[in-house]
Amino acid sequence: MSRHHVTLDVVGPWSLETSRTFWKGFLPAALPPGEQQDTSISTVFRVDADWSAASAVVHQQGTRAAIVVTGDGDLDAAAAQVARFLSLDIDGTAWPDVADRDPVIRRAQAELPGLRPCGFHSPYEAAAWAVLSQRIRIRQAAVLRAGVIERHGDGGAFPSPARLRGLDLDLPGRKTEYLHAVAEAALDGRLDGAALRDADPDTAARDLLSIKGIGPFAAELVVLRGANHPDGVPHHEGRLEAEVEEQYGPGRTVDEVSENWRPFRTWAAVHLRALREQRTGEIFG
């Protein structure tokens, strides 16, 4: 097993402490309990360049991120994926400008200083979560996901697509069938994180609808939270819509208010959802 060190200049506001606190409460892909230190983020994930398993430890050193990845696969790709799923590779210089245009986002930035959206390790894992969480409560889906990893994972990482495709899982409804379809899509290159990040988010989400079991909400989740695209609008999140009406006034829509969020519409939406969770106790998933 090899180890690879990368130091990355993070452009714009970033706080590892705020990001870690947010991710620890992100139940769909929560950080492993008992493994986090106050000065780092540690996680295990599936590298979407070659589907090897890797582990990562990330420290903040001023405006720089020190990333250490360990594994047997493509560790350059693994380090790049870490930067992507932590949004460290995004130039956030203009993020404070959104606060100048929108007082609601100004308050959100003040309450979550330096937060960069993080959560799913890859579009593949986001798609698998979308299938597992269909028609059941988020906590129930998290138990299903943990069980799949425990029985069929690799060192704490979600099963590779090749392995998932052949598993006969005892899951409710058509979840096993849909997971097999997700695995096939991943093996066909349709869930490549870098490619989905570079694509137009609305076009990319529409293209994913042809994967069996992936509907409009799931397709947007894969692009916006799996590939961590910084500038897309979630159109199928009822709780986000409710938060927009509460913060901006009755009748206001996400499409309407998000024009002031460009080019960080995803970031702003995540901030609003995170604050709603803190205020109401809703699970962010």
Tens-digit pLDDT profile for residues 230-268: 999 999 899 999 999 999 999 999 999 999 999 999 999
Q: Which residues pair with 8 in a beta bridge?
A: 65
CATH 3.30.530, applies to 2-94: yes
What DSSP assignment string belongs to 1-45?
Answer: -EEEEEEEEPPS---HHHHHHHHHT-GGGPPPTT---TTEEEEEE
At residue 44, the 3 state secondary structure works out as strand
Per-domain residue ranges for the chain?
A: 2-94
Say whether 160 sits in a helix, a strand or coil: coil
177 Cβ contact list (under 8 Å, min separation 6)? 212, 213
Phi and psi at 40, nearest 5°, equal: -155, 165
The mean predicted confidence, pLDDT, of the chain is 93
Give the list of residues 6+ apart from residue 60 with CB closer than 8 angstroms, or none: 14, 15, 16, 17, 39, 66
pLDDT averaged per 10 residues in sequence order, the chain, 285 residues? 96 95 74 64 95 96 97 98 97 98 97 93 97 92 94 93 96 97 98 97 97 97 97 92 95 96 97 85 59
**What's this model's pTM, rounded to 2 decimal places?**
0.94
DSSP string, 98-117: HHHH-HHHHHHHHHSTT---
How many helices and strands (H and E) does the chain possess?
Answer: 14, 4
